[in-house]
Structure formats: structure tokens, C-alpha cells
């Protein structure tokens, strides 16, 4: 059976595939107006087979929220609580902006409805579900002509009876409905409401998108990447679309972790620079998870890989601001019109600056399948040079420096600001533009090595094929730690374990390949937020240690609370296997070297080797300056760097001269 991994980005759609026992890669421009077009045309280019599996990471759900192009959504909640979603936590993201206004809500006030019913905090019934009140709401929703409905009643995670009755009352309307106890069975009504609303808002869009792909892949299997680093079936993704919000970046983090682990490197900062944005994550012995994510200021409490994103990519636009300062991003040229050198763009981008300095080779872009137009840059750099008062070479290097600073700041957010020293990690570079900036960025952060995998431009697609099938479950139990013991907690987990195994079996995973991981959300009594702790016989000691690591102190004498239990059911599907290569010696073969070309570093043209990566083998060493060419990416090695190829074909670049530390 053939395997295909697909990642849709803002500029390119990336493919990795196994066909007739051999692996191949393919990239083509994305189609922003309908992302499915580039996916389907790419599949047609790769194969005509009727026997393949595909794992796909999509930006459809994310873009629907950011662009406010989701479904017309109604919210049903308890009478008197219709405005919980609007009030939120009363936080202001721009504290010192007197003109700040919250972004428009996904559900306006006239589409928020209340039903007479009330469940108590212990799961008991305070006010019975009022069928007449529910019928009135159903009629109002019918008149409103909405496309999707979110249902979120108080304490439904303890007793879902009211939500189930509301779902039955809505059945006749045949409208997509999201129930909060199925989406997020946890306390904190605002976050649960927000997560359920986001799911309702994007699910019809994802359903149309996924259905369109399924109808055109003729019965072949489709799986969708989740934000938590695992994949799910297309059917699950259509109903629980909120779990796919960051599916593309999650695929990249999984690819970085699995590739690094295979090479024996488990302390990584992943650096994924694409055409539109840059995603970074700190990986210290495992993928980092967060339950405190937000998109467009709306909390989304489903598990996600902890990824920080900035608007700096190859397509980021350079401009002079009102104060005369050079700025880069977050606006991007995207796939259409794209950078100037692609043929249609009219504003200078980071990609154009790299080309102007000689760091991109026009005739070798995408393996020669797409030639860049260097001559078209001249007039645009002339114009911006006059506006800025900088000569053209200084302007181009300045654009790269400003972009590097934005990306350096993003890495400091996930490392230095959380107590980690970047110099103890390797910078794992991927994405189509990552290799152009990785070494200069690592030097800014005093990171000694840069790790560049094979085919870095499509690593997110690779990660999707490497990902496990993962189902996450949670339940609020709100118990005092002294009232619970290990056996009692095991009993609480049993329904979640049964559900996890059952659903993974339905996802097509053999029982022998299913594993479950258990966690507790714990806190000291009186605290507002929790720490996730692995559930072992030593969970109380683990909590104290993790609390001290996170906050600098612990208090073993203080009473603790167990707020939520969490279960991660993991199924291991067939994955790509990379065999190690034999050592081929330090000196690369002559065919690896192309002609030398002048490339500008620090304002000075330097004669630089062009090296074809496909001819490099295990043990080969390279000294900078060098430009390493491959199909999916270009890697820049500035002067005073050297690199070795490891046994899996990864390029390990040292950011100092050979022999120095």
C-alpha cells in the first residue's frame, strides 16, 4: 500500500510519499481560494493508484477563525448565562491601548439563547429541563437560519442529561450540533463554552473540505492531523474540528522529535520557517503539551503541542513604517501574488532579500522546477533603497536581520522566559526557508549546533506519517488529594480507558498496538491553575517537583487538589523507517560540488561553494561559506562554520570554526 503525507501551508503544499517501495517528495504552490485544489492536483501528480493511505494537515479550521469565514453559529446555554461567552475573563490583550476593542464574537448576541434548566456542581438537578423553553429556542434557531449550533450547559461534564435532551430537541432541524460534554468534559464554563463554540464554528467548513477530498480520492483512506501530535480519522475530524486547529505545525514538531530521537538528539528547539510564518517549540525529552491555547483571543482548551508562532516567513513583506524604521511582517505575500521573484509580487519579501544577496540560487529553486526572476528585483530594491536611505545590499541584509530578530524573540519566549538555556539545545531547522536563517539565528542565541534533516522543506508532512493515532480524554473530578488513593483514582480512569480503547479500535488500530497514558491535573488548595502530573504511585511527589521546576518553590505541607484526570490513548500505525548509512569518509565526492558564486555576508561578497546535498553521504564534512542545494530547501552556511553528515543523512552544522567551541 502506498503512503502519502500532505501539509498545506500558506505558500506551498508539501507531499511525501512511498511508491513502489521508494520514498519521494513533491512541492507545489498552494491554492488559497480552495486549498483542496493543490492537495488533489498533487495527489494526481504522485499516483493514480487506488490503494493508498493519506495523512493530511490542514489550515482550513485556523483560517476560518482568523478570517471570520466560519459557519453561522448559534449558542444554547442556561437561561441567564447567555453572555458568559461575551464577558469571558475580562482580560485585555493590549493593556495600554485606550482604543482597544475586542474582536467580533463568533456568536453575536442575537444568536445566543437560554433554556430553563440547571445542574448543580455535584451533578444533581437544581432545575429540571424545560421542554417548552427548549421548543421555543428550537423555533428561534429555525427562524435564524444558522449553519451550526454549540450547546453548553453548566456542569454538563458531571451530568450531560440536559445537553442530550437539547440535542434530541434539535434533531428535526438537521443542523450540525456540538455538545460541550463531548468536546471538553472539564469545569470552567467560559473556556468550555469557547472551545465548544470554536468547534461548532469550524466543523461545517471542515466537513465540506474533507468531504470534497474524500469524494475525489476514490475510497482511499484519509486521516487528519491533530494539534496534539496525533492523527484521527476523517469522520472524527469532521465532528471534532477544534482538534485540528494547529495540525500543520504539530506535524512539524512530531517530525522534529521523531527524527531527532532517531539520531540520538533529544534536546531540540524546533524552528519551522515557511512562507508565511515561523513556528518554534522547545522539545526536552518529549513533545510539550499545553491546555491553555487561544486562537484569535478565544480560549481553546483541547490538548495542543506547545508551539509559538510569529509572522515571519519567506513571504513576509518588508516596509518602512511611519517613523522611518525598517519593518518585516507580519503581513505576507502568500502564494498569490508571492514574492517579487516569483513573477507577480510587487513588494519586497524576505525571499527576495535572500535572492538579492546570492543566498538563493535562481536556477536551482525547487530542484530547478521553479526558476526565480533575479532581474525583476532591481527596480524594487532601487525604489526602497531611496526610501530608506540605505544602499541595496545593506537594505537586503537589514531585512534579513529584522526577520531574524523577530524569530530570535520567539525562541526566547519558549526557552529563556521559561528558565531554559538555548545553548544547551540544538536548533532543529526545517521548513522551506528555515535553512536560509538557521545558522545566523543559532549564533544570536549562542546555540552551538544546527540540525537539518533530509528534505527539511517537507518535514511537517513527514511528521504526519510518523505520528501516532492519539485520542485525548479528560474529566473534572475536583477531589482533595488526601481523600483519594492510587486504587480509587484507577477506578476513576476505567471508563476513560474503555472509551479510549474502543475508539482506537474503531480508528482501525490493532489492540496490541494500543497504549494508554494517564495524567492528573493537580494544584495546591487555593490555587487557580493546575499542573499536569503523570499518574504513577509517586504522583504527589511528582507534583511537588514539577511545581518547584515551574514556579521556583514547592510546599509539601500544603493540601493538594486533584482537579482533572486525563487519558491519552495512543495507537501506533505503520511508520517510515530510515536505515542508517555506512561511513563514506570525510571528503565529499567531486560531483557534490557545483560552481563557486559570490554571496554577500556582512556586506562583503565571498566566493562560496554550491553543494548538491543529494550527493553527500555519512561522514562527509563541509566548511563554510557554502550554499547547500536540495529540492525542498536551501541551506546557508556562513563563513566560519563547518558541518558533518550523520548516519541518517542529517546535516549537523557547527556554528563556529572547526576545532573551536
Spatial distance between the Cα atoms of 258 and 271, rounded to a whole number of angstroms? 15
Q: What is the pLDDT of residue 309?
A: 86
User: Which residue reads 538563493 in cell numbers?
Assistant: 360
What would the pLDDT profile of 458-498 be if each residue is shown by its tens digit? Answer: 899 989 999 999 999 999 999 999 999 999 999 999 999 99
> Cell 532581474 identifies what position?
375
Quick one: pLDDT band at residue 380, thresholds 50, 70, 90? very high
Contact 591, 610 (CB under 8 A): no
Whole-angstrom Cα distance, residue 38 to residue 230? Answer: 23
> Among 3.40.30, 2.60.120, 3.30.1490, 3.30.590, what is the CATH number of 469-571?
3.30.1490
Listing DSSP states for 569-603 in one string gives EEE-------PPPPP--SSPPGGGEEEEEEEEETT
Contact 496, 473 (CB under 8 A): yes
Burial of 466 (0-12, 13-18, 19+ CB in 10 A): buried
- Per residue in 551-566, pLDDT (tens digit) is 889 999 999 999 999 9
The pLDDT of residue 222 is above 60: yes
Band of residue 2 on the pLDDT scale cut at 50, 70, 90: confident
Q: Which residue has the higher pLDDT, 366 or 602?
A: 602
Q: What is the pLDDT of residue 661?
A: 55
Q: Give residue for cell 541595496.
A: 392
Is 247 within 8 Å of 58 (Cβ atoms)? yes
Task: List the beta bridge partners of residue 3.
Answer: 18, 53
Half-sphere exposure of 457 (CA within 13 A, CB side): 26
- The answer to whether domain 2-65+208-244 and domain 69-206 are alike in fold is no
Q: Is the peptide bond before 625 cis (omega within 30 degrees of 0)?
A: yes
| 585-618 pLDDT per residue, tens | 999 999 999 999 999 999 999 999 999 999 999 9
Mean residue pLDDT of the chain comes to 92
Q: How many residues does the chain have?
A: 661
| Interval 35-53 mean pLDDT | 88
Phi (first) and psi of residue 319, to 5 degrees: -160, 165
C-alpha cell at 618: 555519512
Burial class from Cβ neighbours inside 10 Å (0-12, 13-18, 19+) for residue 460 reads buried
Confidence of residue 194 (pLDDT cuts 50, 70, 90): very high
Report the range of poorest mean pLDDT among 255-259, 392-396, 577-581: 577-581
Domain ranges of the chain: 2-65+208-244, 69-206, 469-571, 590-654
Q: Where are the beta strands (DSSP E) in 440-559?
A: 449-452, 469-480, 514-524, 531-534
β-partners of residue 35 are: none
Residue 37 pLDDT more than 70?
Answer: yes
pLDDT greater than 80 at residue 112: yes
- Which three three-digit cell numbers place residue 413? 519566549
What average pLDDT does range 269-288 have in this prediction?
A: 91
- CA dist., res. 178 & res. 77, Å (int): 12
97 — pLDDT class (breaks 50, 70, 90): confident
The dihedral sign for the CA sequence 261, 405, 447, 392: positive
In whole angstroms, what is the distance from residue 84 CA to residue 110 CA? 14
pLDDT of residue 658: 65
Distance of CA 319 to CAs 341, 350, 404, 551, Å?
17, 11, 16, 41
Residue 305 has pLDDT above 70, yes or no: yes
Rounded Cα distance, 13 and 79, in Å: 46
Which residues face 549 on adjacent strands?
A: none
Alpha-carbon radius of gyration of the chain: 26
Gap between the Cα atoms of 604 and 143, Å rounded: 69
* Mean pLDDT to the nearest integer, 253-277: 92
What is the distance between the alpha carbons of residues 269 and 456, in angstroms, rounded to a whole number? 15
Does the structure show a pLDDT above 60 at 175?
A: yes
pLDDT grade for 61, boundaries at 50, 70 and 90: confident
The helix (H) or strand (E) run that includes residue 548 is helix 539-551
Q: How far is it, in rounded angstroms, from Cα 423 to Cα 450?
A: 11
Confidence of residue 657 (pLDDT cuts 50, 70, 90): low
Per-residue pLDDT, 419: 84
Residues of 381-407 as b/e, b for ≥16 C-beta within 10 angstroms? beebbeebebebbebbbbbbebbbebb
Strand 112-115 versus strand 514-524 pairing type = unpaired
Q: What is the pLDDT of residue 29?
A: 84
Burial of 326 (0-12, 13-18, 19+ CB in 10 A): middle
Q: Is 367 left (phi over 0), alpha (psi -120 to 50) or beta?
A: left
Mean pLDDT, residues 352-364? 93
The torsion angles phi and psi of 64, rounded to 5 degrees, stand at: -60, -40
With cut-offs at 50, 70 and 90, classify the pLDDT of residue 30. confident
Q: Give the per-residue pLDDT at 659.
A: 60
| Domain 2-65+208-244 superfamily per CATH | ATPase, nucleotide binding domain (3.30.420.40)
- What CATH fold (topology level) applies to the domain 69-206? Rossmann fold (3.40.50)
Average pLDDT of span 633-646 = 95
Instruction: Give Dmax (Cα) for the chain.
Output: 82
Residue 320 has pLDDT above 80, yes or no: yes
Please enumerate in sequence order all residues whose Cβ is within 8 A of that of 188, keeping only pairs 6 or more positions apart, or say none. 301
Q: Which residue shows C-alpha cell 470554536?
A: 198
Average pLDDT over residues 268-280: 90
Cβ atoms of 261 and 93 closer than 8 Å: no
Q: How much of the chain, in percent, has pLDDT values that exceed 70?
A: 99
Amino acid at each position: 500500500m502506498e503512503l502519502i503525507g500532505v501539509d498545506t501551508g500558506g505558500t506551498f503544499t508539501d507531499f511525501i510519499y512511498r511508491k513502489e517501495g521508494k520514498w519521494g517528495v513533491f512541492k507545489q504552490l498552494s491554492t488559497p481560494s480552495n486549498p483542496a485544489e493543490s492537495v488533489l492536483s498533487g495527489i494526481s501528480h504522485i499516483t493514480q493508484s487506488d490503494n493508498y493511505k493519506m495523512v493530511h494537515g490542514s489550515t482550513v479550521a485556523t483560517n476560518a477563525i482568523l478570517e471570520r469565514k466560519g459557519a453561522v453559529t448559534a449558542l444554547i446555554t442556561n437561561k441567564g448565562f447567555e453572555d458568559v461567552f461575551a464577558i469571558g475573563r475580562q482580560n485585555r490583550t493590549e493593556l495600554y491601548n485606550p482604543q482597544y476593542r475586542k474582536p467580533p464574537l463568533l456568536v453575536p448576541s442575537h444568536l445566543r439563547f437560554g433554556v430553563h434548566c440547571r445542574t448543580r456542581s455535584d451533578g444533581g438537578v437544581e432545575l429540571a429541563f424545560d421542554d417548552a423553553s427548549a421548543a421555543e429556542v428550537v423555533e428561534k434557531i429555525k427562524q435564524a437560519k444558522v449553519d451550526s449550533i454549540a450547546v453548553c450547559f453548566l456542569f454538563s461534564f458531571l451530568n450531560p442529561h440536559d445537553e442530550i435532551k437539547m440535542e434530541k430537541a434539535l434533531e428535526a432541524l438537521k443542523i450540525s450540533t456540538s455538545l460541550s460534554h463531548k468536546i471538553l468534559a472539564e469545569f470552567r464554563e467560559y473556556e468550555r463554552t469557547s472551545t465548544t463554540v470554536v468547534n461548532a464554528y469550524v466543523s461545517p467548513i471542515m466537513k465540506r473540505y474533507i468531504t470534497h477530498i474524500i469524494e475525489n480520492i476514490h475510497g482511499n483512506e484519509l486521516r487528519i492531523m491533530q494539534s496534539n501530535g496525533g492523527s484521527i480519522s476523517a469522520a472524527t475530524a469532521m465532528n471534532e474540528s477544534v482538534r485540528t486547529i494547529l495540525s500543520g505545525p504539530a506535524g512539524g514538531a512530531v517530525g522534529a522529535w521523531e527524527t531527532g530521537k532517531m539520531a540520538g538528539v533529544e534536546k531540540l528547539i524546533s524552528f519551522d520557517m515557511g512562507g508565511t510564518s515561523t513556528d518554534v517549540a522547545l522539545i526536552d525529552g518529549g513533545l510539550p503539551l499545553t491546555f491553555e491555547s487561544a486562537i484569535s483571543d478565544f480560549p481553546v482548551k483541547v490538548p495542543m503541542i506547545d508551539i509559538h508562532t510569529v509572522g515571519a516567513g519567506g513571504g513576509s513583506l518588508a516596509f518602512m513604517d511611519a517613523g522611518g524604521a525598517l519593518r518585516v511582517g507580519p503581513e505576507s505575500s502568500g502564494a498569490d501574488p508571492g514574492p517579487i521573484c516569483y513573477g507577480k509580487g510587487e513588494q519586497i519579501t524576505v525571499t527576495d532579500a535572500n535572492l538579492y544577496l546570492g543566498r538563493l540560487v535562481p536556477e536551482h529553486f525547487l530542484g530547478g522546477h521553479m526558476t526565480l526572476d533575479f532581474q525583476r528585483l532591481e527596480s524594487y530594491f532601487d525604489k526602497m533603497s531611496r526610501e530608506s536611505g540605505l544602499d541595496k545590499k545593506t537594505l537586503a541584509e537589514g531585512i534579513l536581520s529584522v526577520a531574524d530578530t523577530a524569530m530570535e524573540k520567539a525562541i526566547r519566549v519558549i526557552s529563556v522566559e521559561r528558565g531554559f538555556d538555548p545553548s544547551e539545545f540544538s536548533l532543529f531547522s526545517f521548513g522551506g526557508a528555515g535553512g536560509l536563517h538557521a545558522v545566523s539565528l543559532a549564533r544570536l542565541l549562542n546555540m552551538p549546533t544546527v540540525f537539518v534533516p533530509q528534505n527539511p522543506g517537507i518535514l511537517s508532512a513527514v511528521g504526519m506519517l510518523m505520528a501516532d493515532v492519539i485520542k485525548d480524554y479528560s474529566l473534572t473530578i475536583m477531589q482533595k488529594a488526601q481523600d483519594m488513593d492510587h486504587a480509587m483514582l484507577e477506578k476513576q480512569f476505567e471508563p476513560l480507558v474503555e472509551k479510549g480503547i474502543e475508539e482506537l479500535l474503531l480508528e482501525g488500530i490493532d489492540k496490541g498496538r494500543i497504549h494508554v497514558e494517564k495524567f492528573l491535573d493537580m494544584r495546591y488548595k487555593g490555587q487557580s491553575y493546575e499542573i499536569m502530573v503523570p499518574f504513577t504511585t509517586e504522583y504527589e511527589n511528582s507534583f511537588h517537583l514539577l511545581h518547584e521546576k515551574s514556579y521556583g518553590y514547592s510546599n509539601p505541607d500544603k493540601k493538594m487538589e486533584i482537579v482533572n484526570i486525563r487519558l491519552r490513548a495512543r495507537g501506533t500505525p505503520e511508520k517510515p523507517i530510515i536505515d542508517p548509512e555506512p561511513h563514506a569518509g570525510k571528503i565529499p565526492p567531486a560531483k557534490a560540488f557545483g560552481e563557486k558564486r559570490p554571496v554577500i555576508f556582512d556586506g562583503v561578497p565571498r566566493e562560496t561553494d554550491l553543494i548538491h546535498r543529494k550527493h553527500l553521504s555519512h561522514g562527509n564534512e563541509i566548511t563554510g561559506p557554502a550554499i547547500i542545494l536540495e529540492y525542498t530547501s536551501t541551506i546557508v552556511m556562513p563563513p566560519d562554520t563547518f558541518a558533518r553528515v550523520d548516519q541518517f543523512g542529517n546535516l549537523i552544522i557547527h556554528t563556529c570554526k572547526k576545532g573551536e567551541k
